[in-house]
Amino acid sequence: MQRKPMKLETQRKILGYFFLIPIVVLLVVFMFYPIAKSIVMSFTNWSGMSDDWKWIGFNNYIRIFTDMPEYWRAMKVNVIYAIIATAVQLTLGFIMAVMVINMKPRWQNFYKVALYLPVIIPAAAISVMWRYIYTPEYGLINQFLRAIGLDSLCRAWTADPDTALGAVIVTNTWRYAGFTMVLYYVAMLDIPKDVLESAQIDGANRWQLIRYFYLPLTRGTTEVNLILTITGCLRAFDIFYLLTAGGPGTSTKVVSMWIMETAFQSYKYGRALAMSIVLFLIVVLTMLLFRFILAPREKE
């Protein structure tokens, strides 16, 4: 490669800065500045509406940890939700991926597109749809139960404290299992075909293939899926807000709902920011924890 004249190279570099102006401006205004401001204002009693605020030190944080049982009750909902939803979603996603990858190419194409479909449907549509499916009188589930003579099992799925969280988990699984599946599927495409084939020739059955090939060779994807799903569950808002609105009572009220209420209904921005930051730290710690747990063995 011939040496380019210095001048042109310099010109290109300077032009590079101009190309970066829009992204830098937007991210500074809508990402870096708000983060900095969030951190600073979480130490104040700012209402958000007026410019009248004063420093109150760690009071917001102290309050979260000592005098805010509802925050931790909500966190408990998030954690239970995260554990169950993640376990179900990863298991289903993995099984579906193994099945899809062993199909004829035409069916692979069909299923990977079809099963991913719910992922792209707006949460608002999903919730309206599932609320309808869960409706006590004319909903799909109760109609179905009546049709097969199990009337006694009919209930108001989203309004019953025993089933409300379960209903959200089912909807969430329906929504995201395809996402998990596609990630696994894509990882499985990278497994060399001849390795699988020779294992099969040596008499490995399906379960052995899964146990010794599909599962260990998609370990990195399992990590990604785990982290994405768990952190997603800890931050969940839309599906809860739209499906149960936190009810019945506060049985499905999640943390981000409390934050939103504190900020936009009680007008306690400072406190809401502190609540956001605590949630953020919990999410980041969870992420790091899982990376730590899962990382070392990956180096085999």
155 belongs to the binding site for other proteins (CB under 8 A): no
Per the CB < 8 A criterion, the answer to whether 217 and 129 are in contact is: no
Find the binding residues for other proteins in span 204-233 (CB under 8 A). 206, 220-221, 224, 228
Encoding tokens for residue 120? 């792209």
- Footprint on residues 20-59 left by other proteins (CB under 8 A): 20, 22-24, 26-27, 29-35, 37-38, 41, 48
Region from 67-75, 81-89, 135-143, 153-161 binding other proteins, contact rule CB under 8 A: 135-143
Complex with other proteins: residue 6 or 14, whichever CB lies closer? 14
Q: Is 90 in the site for other proteins (CB under 8 A)?
A: no
Looking at 164, 182, 230, 236, which residue binds other proteins (CB under 8 A)? 182
* Beta carbon of residue 143, minimum distance to other proteins (angstroms, whole number): 4
Residue 247's closest CA among 125, 186, 144, 158?
158
Q: Does residue 187 bind other proteins (CB under 8 A)?
A: yes
The backbone torsions φ and ψ at residue 53, rounded to the nearest 5 degrees and listed phi first, read: -150, 160
CB of 141 to other proteins, least distance (A): 10
- Choosing from 131, 155, 217, 294, the residue that interacts with other proteins (CB under 8 A) is 131
Tokens of 213: 């090939």
Cβ 131 vs Cβ 150: under 8 Å? no
Work out which of 75, 79, 123, 210 binds other proteins, going by CB under 8 A: 123
Helix 269-294 / helix 59-66 crossing angle, nearest 10 deg:
70
Rounded to 5 degrees, φ, ψ at 55 are: -65, 135
161 vs 192, beta carbon nearer other proteins: 192
Minimum separation from the CB atom of position 296 to other proteins (A): 18
Angstrom distances, CA of residue 180 to CA of 94, 105, 130, 227: 7, 20, 21, 11
Angle at 115 between CA 110 and CA 119, to 5 degrees: 130
From the list 57, 105, 149, 296, which residue makes contact with other proteins (rule: CB under 8 A)?
105
In contact, 252 and 164? CB cutoff 8 Å: yes
**Cβ nearer to other proteins, comparing 75 with 228:** 228
Record the tokens describing residue 48, joined without a space: 């958000």
Choosing from 5, 7, 17, 67, the residue that interacts with other proteins (CB under 8 A) is 17
167 binds other proteins (CB under 8 A): no
Q: Within positions 258 to 287, which residues make up the interface with other proteins, using CB under 8 A?
A: 259-260, 263-264, 269, 272-273, 275-277, 279-280, 283-284, 287
Question: Alpha-carbon distance 176 to 85, whole Å?
Answer: 10
Cα separation, 232 vs 90, in Å, equals 13
- How many chain residues touch other proteins (CB under 8 A)? 101
